[in-house]
Amino acid sequence: MLDQLGNGLLLGIIISVASVALSLLYGVTRIVNFAHGEIIALGAIATLFFSSPLDYRVLFLEKFSPLGLNFAISCFLAIVVCGLFGGLLEVFLFRPLRKNDVGNIAVLVVTIGLSILVRHLYLLFATGKVQNFPLELQRRQTYLFFDMTPRNFNVLIAGIIVMIIVGLLLTYTRLGKAMRAVRDSEELSSVSGINSDNIILITWVSSSMLAGLAGIFQATINDVRWNMGFLILLLIFAGTVLGGIGTSFGAMVGGLMIGIMVQVSVGLPFMEGHTEAKNAVALAVMILILLFRPQGIFGKKERIS
Amino acid sequence: MNKTILECNGIAAGYVKGLNILQGVDLVVHEGEIVSIIGPNGAGKSTLLKAIMGLIKVSAGRFYINGIEKTNLSTHKIVTEGIGYVPQVANVFPSLTIEENLEIGAWSVNNKKESIKNIYTNFPMLSERKKDKAGNLSGGQRQILALARALITSPSLLLLDEPSAGLSPVAINEVFDSIKEINDSGVSILLVEQNAKRALAFSDRGYVLDQGRNAYQGKGEELLNDPRVIDLYLGKL
């Protein structure tokens, strides 16, 4: 059970970072972004491309050489690429849709289409091979009462620090307050003098950067796959909804809880030999919690008048 | 005659292309005036305020602010032209504290601290509860916060969309008292109201809208006693 808790924390932090990104975007733009998983995968694939040694033929139909850059620089560049991708999506796709008053459901279907398109471009260019970052293997060590490799432990710490920074930025900075204001009401924000298009653009960029970071985490802990984002997308939605849609703090905790429940349920007696069904328990718990607390754990009921 | 702050010439606008709610509305607000817009449901009263704020696109006609044309300017730029707006619903940010609401209101203001301090002096209730979430305020308190948020930019004209909607009679009196005080401090008011008698009695001038067009206009008291207006809109009250 306890080493499963370690695994649960690691999966939890990936989902948590990705859920905060999804929740931020949903909160400000009301877009349920099914292409979120592909931005996660972009973070991992871009890092793989930037960091793999020059003589590797990991990607791109064996035609292009990777860049062989320092791993940390690669991660940084990959996050920038994700931010850029998110920004371009907003400017060339979602802003025009918004200006033409395309309904929420139609936009949702657009994100599903985008997800399928981009995911299969990855399959085309990055191939279906399961690949790994060029990092040396590490031995597990014991931290407090769970075992994980030093690298994974660093991922966990980095994830927690990123969450704290995001929380502080949202609560105390002018930009964070503006994001929360646009989340409450775009119309009221613009009549308060805020250029809400700019705030939405910044939200797309920062949400995509966070998603890319989650992808790098996931690939560091596990591996790089063309459909890696899609595989955990459902868990990310679950984490977001469990915490309370649109609340960043809720998404953090909800994501962490889903990750832990998925991994810890592997240790349950009736799960023996059925570990491939591990998502089932976590999602069942999510449904139960929502039955009794429809607004999510940290979602608030508000007076409407 | 005082300086003209806002002038609308033949404004046509709507939410859907090809379906205009406003079909050529003319309206003028002078410095220091309280002007009210009354009319039955669906006459386009709220739509007119939204069109002035650039929240919906104007398909015909022109707006002038202080004599300069500002048709179809982006909303956040209209705010910096000295126009404040309090919508009828969703007029505060419920998940933000009162202080944060005012900070967002002061987005385009240079001296934010000073302007928030001024608001607290004028509305002590807000100062006492500044760390409370706006979503926890009562309807009347919300309306006061909504007024304060719009006032923080020191606008020369304030657009109010049914400030009395859904309030108790006591709260309505408080809100109208506040509006009167705001006007006394030199801010012009353009008011949309269902409560036509109250609005006209309170206003310098009034416009009656019907089906997206100007029906009648005149001094507040005159309209109040105009048999045509009484027949059309006031008789049932």
**B229: Cα separation from own chain's centroid:** 22
CB contact under 8 A, B93 and A185: yes
**H-helix or E-strand containing A155?**
helix A150-172
pLDDT value of position B69: 92
- C-alpha A42/C-alpha B124 separation (Å) is 52
Give phi and psi for B186, each to the nearest 5: 105, 5
Supply angle C-alpha A161, A163, A166, rounded to 5. Answer: 110
Neighbours of B2 (CB within 10 A): 10
Of B104, B136, B153, the CB nearest to A189: B104
Q: Give the number of C-alpha atoms closer than 13 A to the C-alpha of residue B141, restricted to the C-beta side.
A: 17
pLDDT tier for residue B220 given thresholds of 50, 70 and 90:
confident
pLDDT value of position A304: 43
Locate B41 and state its tokens: 């449901």
Longest dimension (CA), chain B: 51
* Interface ipTM: 0.89
Report field, pTM of the whole predicted structure over 0.80: yes
Q: Which residues of B79-105 are buried (b: 16+ CB within 10 A; e: fewer)?
A: bebbbbbbbbeebbbbbbbbbbbbbbb
CB contact under 8 A, B55 and A302: no
pLDDT value of position A299: 76
Q: Give the number of C-alpha atoms closer than 13 A to the C-alpha of residue A47, restricted to the C-beta side.
A: 31
Residue listed under structure tokens 């966990």 = A156
Q: Which residue of A has its CA nearest to B99?
A: A177
Asked if A263 and A277 count as a contact pair (C-beta separation under 8 A), the reply is no
CA dihedral B68, B74, B75, B76 (to 10 degrees): -100
pLDDT tier for residue B174 given thresholds of 50, 70 and 90:
confident
Nearest alpha-carbon partner for A22 in A103, A86, A78, A116:
A86
- C-alpha B71/C-alpha B65 separation (Å) is 9
Does residue B44 surpass a pLDDT of 50? yes
CB contact under 8 A, A191 and B104: no
Q: From the CA of A302, how many Å to the nearest CA of chain B?
A: 6
Instruction: State the average pLDDT over residues B101-126.
Output: 92
Q: What is the pLDDT along chain A (305 residues), one digit of tens a residue?
A: 666 888 899 999 999 999 999 999 998 999 999 999 999 999 999 999 899 887 776 665 566 677 888 999 999 999 999 999 999 999 999 999 998 889 899 999 999 999 999 999 999 887 788 888 888 888 888 887 778 889 999 999 999 999 999 999 999 999 999 999 999 999 999 999 999 999 999 999 999 999 999 999 999 999 999 999 999 999 999 999 888 877 788 899 999 999 999 988 887 877 777 777 888 888 888 888 889 888 888 876 544 43
pLDDT value of position B237: 45
- Taking only residues 169 to 228 of chain B, the set having a beta carbon closer than 8 angstroms to any beta carbon of chain A reads none
Nearest alpha-carbon partner for A177 in A140, A143, A202:
A202
pLDDT tier for residue B233 given thresholds of 50, 70 and 90:
low
CB contact under 8 A, B79 and A192: yes
> How is residue A267 annotated by DSSP?
G
- C-alpha B64/C-alpha B51 separation (Å) is 13
User: Over the Cα atoms of chain A, what is R_g?
Assistant: 19
Beta-strand pair B34-38/B205-210: parallel
Q: Which residue of B has its CA nearest to A196?
A: B76
Instruction: State the average pLDDT over residues B45-57.
Output: 92
The answer to whether residue A227 neighbours chain B at the CB level (below 8 Å) is: no
List all residues 6 or more positions away from A267 whose beta carbon is below 8 Å from its beta carbon: A1, A4
Nearest alpha-carbon partner for B199 in B235, B151, B234, B171:
B234
List all residues 6 or more positions away from B134 whose beta carbon is below 8 Å from its beta carbon: B92, B93, B94, B95, B96, B97, B98, B101, B142, B145
B161: helix, coil or strand? strand
- C-alpha A183/C-alpha A28 separation (Å) is 4
Q: From the CA of A208, how many Å to the nearest CA of chain B?
A: 24
pLDDT value of position A179: 93
- C-alpha B72/C-alpha B13 separation (Å) is 11
- Taking only residues 136 to 195 of chain A, the set having a beta carbon closer than 8 angstroms to any beta carbon of chain B reads 174, 177-178, 180-181, 183-185, 187-195
The answer to whether residue A99 neighbours chain B at the CB level (below 8 Å) is: no
A227: helix, coil or strand? coil
Q: From the CA of B193, how many Å to the nearest CA of chain A?
A: 17
Amino acid (1-letter code) at residue B148: A
> How is residue B237 annotated by DSSP?
-
Across the A:B interface, residue pairs with CB atoms under 8 Å apart total 75
What are the residues facing B127 on neighbouring strands? none
The answer to whether residue B104 neighbours chain A at the CB level (below 8 Å) is: yes
Q: Which residue of A has its CA nearest to B158?
A: A191
Could you tell me what percentage of chain B is helix, strand and coil, using 3-state DSSP and rounding each to the nearest 5?
A: 40, 25, 35
Instruction: State the average pLDDT over residues B174-187.
Output: 91
pLDDT value of position A58: 62
